[in-house]
Structure 1
């Protein structure tokens, strides 16, 4: 009996830990299932920007957006601007001349200089850049680069524009100019060359520099100047859009994946750039751009929102201003220098009819209900000889009855004097015309006398 009891105790000693282990494992699995169920449930019918890219919204996110969409752009921002890239026309705006902190949107100035250096042949996209310790230590949005790691210029441009990497843009600044101070001087010179008179740059990335307890230094310019900066940059280096339209950077070799900071990318069709920013001094800001493909002529707009209080407010503000630009405005090609606007008669000339061509393209931005008209003012007593490029008159464009543009009309072919035989024919024709006119006048006079 004693022996049997001993065996039973031994069996229990062996079995009980296994039971506890199984129970523990089961409990862990149950907890895992609970954690899964307690994670964000993304089941709403709208897509939103998240730290992991564009996804369906959670119920709470959808409610937040719904409430923010009830607010106006005036309420969501401290300043905003909607403008046309091609013509430079500012369509809608609020407080665009106040000079403000611009946070990481100032990376556009830095990237401008990088592209300038590539164009000048000073550096190339395939140059190898060793990440320095100072750049790697910069806080804020980063590429998680470590000191001593080597990247190409192209990889650092991607990081600076897609994930707003401060370490990447600082390393590029040193590669271009030798040190940060030289690069900042170049930034300020570039701003002045572009006519951005209020712009002040203190670093390549846009982070606030605290000089004391009360003094804060930061990159700054007005919303109007940000608009001009974006226009110049896209015009000079349209390849920037190849970078800013990237949804993410995926580097499996580094176990790194970073998604674009642009909240409108992948959500609003046509959006392909440009740059976000955030500091306490600047609030959440954004310079967005995209092409309205539904316009009669493809129309690139630039929408700027500044001083938003949080990420969702910025997202809604950007969405409002971009969609407003796409829905309410169209760009129409009214005149093309390669196409004659009007045919003009040149009596007795050779030839006797020529086309009147605009000396430049005319594009007009209009709302759907705007009425655009054109009138022509042709120079009086036009006669041969006429030279190529000679002015023939003007085309005047009106929108809703208000004059908005005047374009010169020019000749693109010569009008010469007629040949001798033509001159004789013209002389005979004129003689018979005069005889006919004299006879008609005589008959009319006789009728009056009777």
Structure 2
């Protein structure tokens, strides 16, 4: 069975900014009800005490949630970093600002920045066709001819999700192997290739080369985790280094981000300081372990986090995310990207940012970011991510404030993704700030 997670459509992304109330569908479990004060860690920031109150109230009113961490950056610096609830419910360990969380599709913001850094250095062009560049050996070539459109897909098209892949179109993807998200099918792909399970990212790309595209490249937008898997392989090919090594050394090190890394699928492989993940929709071990052995809960081995490196595999602190988001300001002293690269990253793609009659959409997907651009307000950028047991959100506001929130639970008691549900409340609280610290 294909289980979809961490795939955010344009409609879902735009809903993140909607100033609406919470839903009404209540989960059928009681979760981790707080019997006392919600644990709160990190340095208190009196000027932003209202953010504490928003998070504490939310966790207290949503006992299906375990913990959360929130960070805020302003003028390039993280000025607020606090955590709430529990990193480990069973051990009663409070979440810390230093706790590492899976961030799922927020990882795409790192990959797009890495691509732009290679473009900035003259190592890559946005117009370069990705598959001729990768020059991968295609399996089953004699039996499965190459889709002639494959070699025309450009770096630009993959960055803005117009490369030709569409997820969740097929009723039975294991019969057609089209219209699906291969990133959650690494076990089946390895079996099809006759290779060791689970499939590596490069194996997934090689397998997808045997499949026809779902639409003509460059004709319209369709959110694709697989496309960003391809971009990870482009980074490796052009830089001559492993994807995570390039991102860590070239993007993170100049910013002082030291703890972010690619996560692991299995519970016993958790990194030091990484939270435990909780999900009411995944209570018992009924999923096939992609690494073999006994069945597992979906969030811990039902899918392969390691293979999702460049589209959803990172773990990080909320402060890491806020610091990275703040580095994409043109005036940031340690930001790795130039103003020209940043503007291009957030620019409106002609093929998906403008309607057929030439009217510009106010919301669109740039390179690794959802963008809302209106006049005279300006431009804001954001990205969410979710797995079973994970909900994350990173936002760069029009006023220059950057914030990030991460949860180690899937749904709140209204059956909403908690990072999505909290976005309007956090923005409202920031809007009400009268005096900033410092």
Q: So what's the TM-score if we normalise by structure 2?
A: 0.46
> Highest CA radius of gyration, 1 or 2?
1
TM-score of the aligned structures, taking structure 1 as reference length? 0.45
Higher RCO, 1 vs 2 (CA within 8 Å, ≥6 residues apart): 2
- Higher relative strand content: 1
Q: Which structure has the highest helix share of the two? A: 1
